[in-house]
């Protein structure tokens, strides 16, 4: 029996063929920096949360025709068709939306699965590469160029830089505090942390802190390693919204940490803090409030 799903799949395949036959597009390099689009793209599929947020923030919400399955912000994109994501991405679902630009981040599942087939089909791809904070601003400007919305991108970047500058003036008389930032844990073990070169490491610096673990340093530490680094402040990025600083302080052996004894433990939402998009400046100011709460007392 033909179900609705079968019909949709057949429609997707048909649309895919149309997309290939109907237009001839110049092949692009996948790095995103030499993107020669014939005209500003009108039908954009953006896949990773940071990419969707950036497309919207630089003013192209009305051109967005599809998003990745795990995107839930901003509100306005929620009704848009999904091209998959939970169990992998569908080339056909992307092609069915007839996009003239697909925006993805390098190193993600989406880029790994979609770049080759979409390139082969002649669909232009914008691949954002980023590591530190500056490179996030850089991909935003380049995406602005690609969309013909450089002004919007410049305004977004200026707004983010403004937030950072405001922070800097608030924090200028504050000591630079040592910070241990935890990005993951398995039960009471396998504590993951950030290294230099990651935008979260920049975030710590811009928030008036100093990552206690350095470039050649660890990615997984024990409570002993943290105690040896002796952070002034502990910031735990957690997926569990009910996790409290007391829960962190109650981990076995953690009372040995000075920051725990001085109650300098903050728990922040991981999903918000680790999205390398337009809200990163806001994430950094939230981090600054966790590191230097006294600087924000009115």
Partner 1 sequence: MRPGALTLSLAVAIALIGILVGAMLGVVNTGPLRLLAALLASDPTPDDVLIAWRVQRVTGAFLVGACLAIAGVIYQGSFRNPLAEPFLLGSSAGGALGAVFAILLPLSWLAAVGLPILAFVGAWGATLLVLAISRAARIEDAAGMLLVGIALAALLGALRSTATLVLSDESVSLRALISWTLGGLQSPTGATLLVFAVLTAVCLIASLGLARRLDILGFGESTAATMGVDVGRFLTLSLTVAAFATGLAVAWGGVLAFVGLIVPHTVRWWIGERHAPLLLHSAFVGGGFLAILDGLSRSLLAPSEIPLGLLTSLIGAPFFLLLLVRRYR
**Contact residues for partner 1 (CB under 8 A)?**
49, 70, 86-88, 183-192, 213, 217-229, 238-243, 247, 251-253, 255-258, 261, 269-271, 274-275
State the minimum distance, in angstroms, from the CB of residue 208 to partner 1.
23
Element (H, E) at 186: strand 177-186
* Residue 62 dihedral angles phi and psi, to the nearest 5°: -70, -15
State the minimum distance, in angstroms, from the CB of residue 140 to partner 1.
18
State the minimum distance, in angstroms, from the CB of residue 235 to partner 1.
14
Answer yes or no: are the C-beta atoms of 113 and 68 closer than 8 Å. no
State the minimum distance, in angstroms, from the CB of residue 171 to partner 1.
26
State the minimum distance, in angstroms, from the CB of residue 113 to partner 1.
12
Residues 6+ apart with CB under 8 A from 140: 54, 57, 58, 153, 156, 157, 278
Give whichever of 45 and 200 is closer to partner 1, judged by the CB atom.
200
Residues 6+ apart with CB under 8 A from 23: 122
Answer yes or no: are the C-beta atoms of 211 and 221 closer than 8 Å. no
Closest by CA to 33, choosing from 157, 131, 152, 125, is 125
Give whichever of 59 and 74 is closer to partner 1, judged by the CB atom.
74
Residues 6+ apart with CB under 8 A from 211: 179, 181, 194, 195, 196, 201, 204, 205
State the minimum distance, in angstroms, from the CB of residue 281 to partner 1.
17
Give whichever of 245 and 269 is closer to partner 1, judged by the CB atom.
269
State the minimum distance, in angstroms, from the CB of residue 134 to partner 1.
21
State the minimum distance, in angstroms, from the CB of residue 236 to partner 1.
11
What is the C-alpha to C-alpha distance for residues 60 and 39, in angstroms, rounded to an integer? 15
Answer yes or no: are the C-beta atoms of 53 and 275 closer than 8 Å. yes
Give whichever of 43 and 251 is closer to partner 1, judged by the CB atom.
251
What is the C-alpha to C-alpha distance for residues 159 and 51, in angstroms, rounded to an integer? 17
What is the C-alpha to C-alpha distance for residues 51 and 107, in angstroms, rounded to an integer? 13
Give whichever of 94 and 274 is closer to partner 1, judged by the CB atom.
274
Judge residue 133's burial from the number of C-beta atoms within 10 Å of its C-beta, 0-12 exposed, 13-18 middle, 19 or more buried: buried
Give whichever of 35 and 273 is closer to partner 1, judged by the CB atom.
273
Give how far the C-alpha of residue 245 lies from the chain's centroid of Cα atoms, to the nearest Å.
25
Give whichever of 154 and 247 is closer to partner 1, judged by the CB atom.
247
Give whichever of 151 and 262 is closer to partner 1, judged by the CB atom.
262
Q: What token pair was written down for 177?
A: 């505090």
């Amino acid at each position: 029996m033909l179900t609705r799903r079968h019909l949709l799949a057949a429609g997707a395949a048909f649309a895919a063929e149309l997309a290939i036959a109907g237009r001839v597009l110049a092949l692009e390099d996948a790095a995103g920096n030499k993107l020669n689009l014939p005209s500003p793209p009108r039908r954009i599929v953006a896949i990773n949360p940071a990419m969707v947020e950036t497309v919207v923030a630089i003013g192209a919400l009305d051109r967005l025709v599809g998003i990745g399955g795990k995107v839930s912000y901003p509100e306005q994109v929620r009704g848009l068709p999904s091209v998959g994501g939970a169990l992998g991405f569908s080339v056909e679902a992307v092609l069915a939306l007839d996009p003239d630009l697909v925006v993805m981040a390098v190193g993600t599942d989406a880029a790994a699965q979609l770049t080759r087939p979409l390139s082969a089909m002649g669909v232009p791809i914008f691949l954002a590469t980023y590591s530190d904070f500056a490179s996030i601003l850089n991909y935003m400007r380049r995406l602005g160029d690609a969309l013909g919305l450089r002004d919007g991108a410049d305004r977004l970047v200026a707004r983010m830089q403004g937030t950072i500058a405001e922070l800097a003036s608030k924090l200028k008389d504050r000591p630079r505090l040592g910070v241990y930032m935890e990005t993951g844990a398995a039960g009471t073990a396998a504590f993951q942390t950030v290294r230099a070169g990651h935008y979260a490491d920049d975030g710590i610096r811009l928030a008036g802190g100093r990552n206690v673990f350095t470039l050649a340093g660890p990615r997984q530490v024990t409570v002993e390693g943290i105690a040896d680094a002796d952070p002034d402040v502990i910031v735990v990025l957690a997926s569990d919204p009910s996790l409290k600083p007391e829960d962190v302080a109650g981990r076995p052996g953690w009372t040995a940490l000075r920051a725990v004894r001085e109650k300098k433990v903050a728990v922040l939402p991981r999903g918000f803090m680790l999205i390398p998009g337009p809200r990163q400046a806001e994430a950094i100011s939230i981090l600054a409030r966790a590191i230097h709460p006294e600087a924000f007392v009115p």
